[in-house]
């Protein structure tokens, strides 16, 4: 049976449905796109959210990140608090302000930066990623104020810039400048999850991007023996790199068996030669996604060994450059209190039995886990993020607000 406080906040949220839709309508037209994605940043949207926080938060801290790439020179970040009976421990909800660009405008059936409400959904860029999580977090925290009740411990809201392009001016900046977390805080990132609403994400893969450059010797195609064909070496290398799947075929019980580490040749860069030339250079990228526990160094060693073999066989030079490395974060223990509280909230609010899993990569939870904080990712979505006709299911937005409020009421 939910506690009287839980019942009261959930009933309050039931009255906020229209206000949550109105928040989406207010935020959607403010195009908060980071400079890394060709936009001017999150300042205006940050100020709009700050004004909402000011209506209910007991305290707001500002941790803006200087960034000369945006007009005002700053990327906004806020920590806001609703005081609870105790302050030595907190429940945190994280959300991000930035959205990705609209992409192909022809593919949209509604204007991407206007919130269009139809058939129980809100359409528009950012509706799901991350307005849904932002609205859920804001309304969950505000519900306690609206009924004039204190949660058992403080609620912290961290509203961040720059999630879509690496978090340097968002979470990383806040962690460096003014880390607000304690090791026994409960941290939820409402930014992704399947339509069933059953998945609590406690682990993510790391990422390793490599650029492979093959140098041979150019020649006329009628006299190939005078050259060393870099294309052939590149093709052989790509196929040889499939060995990584066997070599690192370990599984992780948190991840579905079909989602082990992956090693995919992706972009092939043109070498500019004409059809009758043996190319002297060739280049391609390898995108590796590594399960927690598989160190990038191990993979790099194996890639180098394979490349050396191909280089010898084909009498070419192979350079391997690490373009980006994001080591997999340690998993949040499935025994962490936040997992238990969230599970009980999901049973009460959605009537589902949650599955605690590993999934995806690159969420705000990963840097937190690396800093030793047990963060989880949870939301119920149709997974339309980053696509044309992105939408948020209004019932999920309201339901997720109840889930977050339930956790806070029972922390």
Which residue numbers are catalytic? 98, 163
CA distances from 168 to 318, 328, 364, 367 (A): 32, 17, 11, 11
Instruction: Closer to Zn ion by CB, 130 or 261: give it.
Output: 130
Q: Is the Cβ–Cβ distance between 199 and 193 less than 8 Å?
A: yes
Instruction: Closer to Zn ion by CB, 134 or 202: give it.
Output: 134
Instruction: Closer to Zn ion by CB, 193 or 265: give it.
Output: 193
Is residue 201 within the footprint of Zn ion (CB under 5 A)?
A: no
Q: Where are the beta strands (DSSP E) in 136-252?
A: 153-160, 186-189, 199-203, 206-215, 219-220
Count of residues near Zn ion by CB under 5 A: 3
Shortest Å distance, C-beta 198 to Zn ion = 20
Shortest Å distance, C-beta 23 to Zn ion = 17
Residue 39: both structure tokens together: 């936009």
The span from the CA of 266 to the CA of 248, in Å, is 19
Considering only the stretches 8-16, 123-131, 146-154, 251-259, report the one whose residues sit in contact with Zn ion under the rule CB under 5 A: 123-131
* Beta strands 281-290; 262-269: pairing state: antiparallel
Residue 112 neighbours by CB under 8 Å, 6+ apart:
102, 105, 124, 125, 388, 390
Instruction: Closer to Zn ion by CB, 174 or 409: give it.
Output: 174
Instruction: Closer to Zn ion by CB, 345 or 377: give it.
Output: 377
Residues 170-199, one symbol each (x = binds Zn ion by CB under 5 A, - = not), give ---------------------x--------
Residues 243-282, one symbol each (x = binds Zn ion by CB under 5 A, - = not), give ----------------------------------------
Shortest Å distance, C-beta 337 to Zn ion = 25
Residue bearing tokens 């019980």? 253
The H or E element that residue 91 is part of is strand 86-96
Shortest Å distance, C-beta 133 to Zn ion = 7
Residue bearing tokens 């995806």? 360
CA distances from 108 to 97, 274, 330 (A): 22, 39, 38
Shortest Å distance, C-beta 383 to Zn ion = 12
Instruction: Closer to Zn ion by CB, 130 or 252: give it.
Output: 130
Pick the closest to residue 9 from 115, 119, 226, 155 (CA basis): 155
Q: Is the Cβ–Cβ distance between 187 and 361 less than 8 Å?
A: no
Looking at residues 124 to 163 of the shown chain, list those that interact with Zn ion (rule: CB under 5 A): 129-130
* Beta strands 78-82; 153-160: pairing state: antiparallel
Shortest Å distance, C-beta 364 to Zn ion = 8
CA distances from 55 to 50, 102, 161 (A): 9, 31, 21
Residue 369: both structure tokens together: 């886990």
Q: Which residues sit at the interface with Zn ion, rule CB under 5 A?
A: 129-130, 191
């Amino acid at each position: 049976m939910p506690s009287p406080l839980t019942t009261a906040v959930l009933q309050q949220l039931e009255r906020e449905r229209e206000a949550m839709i109105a928040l989406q309508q207010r935020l959607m037209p403010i195009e908060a796109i980071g400079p890394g994605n060709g936009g001017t940043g999150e300042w205006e949207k940050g100020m709009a959210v700050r004004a909402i926080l000011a209506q209910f938060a007991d305290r707001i801290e500002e941790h803006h990140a200087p960034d000369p790439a945006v007009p005002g020179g700053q990327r906004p970040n806020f920590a806001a608090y609703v005081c609870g009976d105790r302050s030595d421990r907190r429940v945190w909800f994280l959300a991000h302000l930035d959205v990705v660009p609209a992409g192909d405008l022809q593919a949209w059936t509604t204007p991407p930066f206007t919130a269009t409400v139809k058939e129980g959904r809100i359409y528009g860029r950012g509706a799901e990623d991350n307005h849904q999580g932002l609205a859920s977090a804001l309304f969950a925290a505000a519900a306690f104020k609206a009924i004039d009740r204190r949660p058992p411990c403080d609620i912290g809201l961290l509203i961040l810039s720059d999630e879509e392009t690496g978090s340097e001016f968002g979470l990383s900046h806040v962690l460096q400048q003014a880390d607000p977390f304690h090791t026994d805080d409960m941290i939820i990132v409402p930014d992704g999850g399947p339509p069933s609403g059953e998945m609590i994400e406690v682990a993510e893969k790391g990422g390793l991007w490599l650029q492979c450059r093959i140098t041979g010797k150019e020649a006329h195609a009628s006299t190939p023996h005078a050259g060393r064909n870099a294309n052939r070496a590149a093709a052989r290398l790509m196929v040889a790199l499939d060995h990584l799947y066997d070599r690192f075929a370990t599984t992780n019980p948190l991840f579905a068996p079909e989602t082990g580490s992956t090693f995919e040749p992706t972009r092939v860069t043109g070498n500019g030669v004409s059809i009758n030339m043996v190319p002297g250079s060739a280049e391609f990228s390898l995108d590796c996604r590594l399960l927690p526990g598989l160190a990038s160094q191990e993979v790099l060693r194996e890639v180098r060994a394979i490349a050396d073999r191909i280089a010898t066989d084909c009498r070419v030079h192979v350079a391997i450059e690490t373009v980006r490395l994001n080591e997999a974060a340690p998993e949040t223990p499935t025994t962490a209190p936040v997992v238990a509280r969230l599970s009980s909230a999901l049973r009460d609010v959605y009537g589902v039995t949650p599955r605690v899993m590993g999934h995806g990569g690159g969420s705000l939870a990963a840097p937190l886990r690396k800093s030793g904080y047990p963060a989880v990712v949870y939301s119920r979505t149709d997974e339309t993020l980053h696509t044309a006709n992105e939408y948020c299911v209004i019932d999920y937005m309201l339901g997720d607000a109840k889930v977050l409020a339930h956790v806070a009421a029972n922390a």
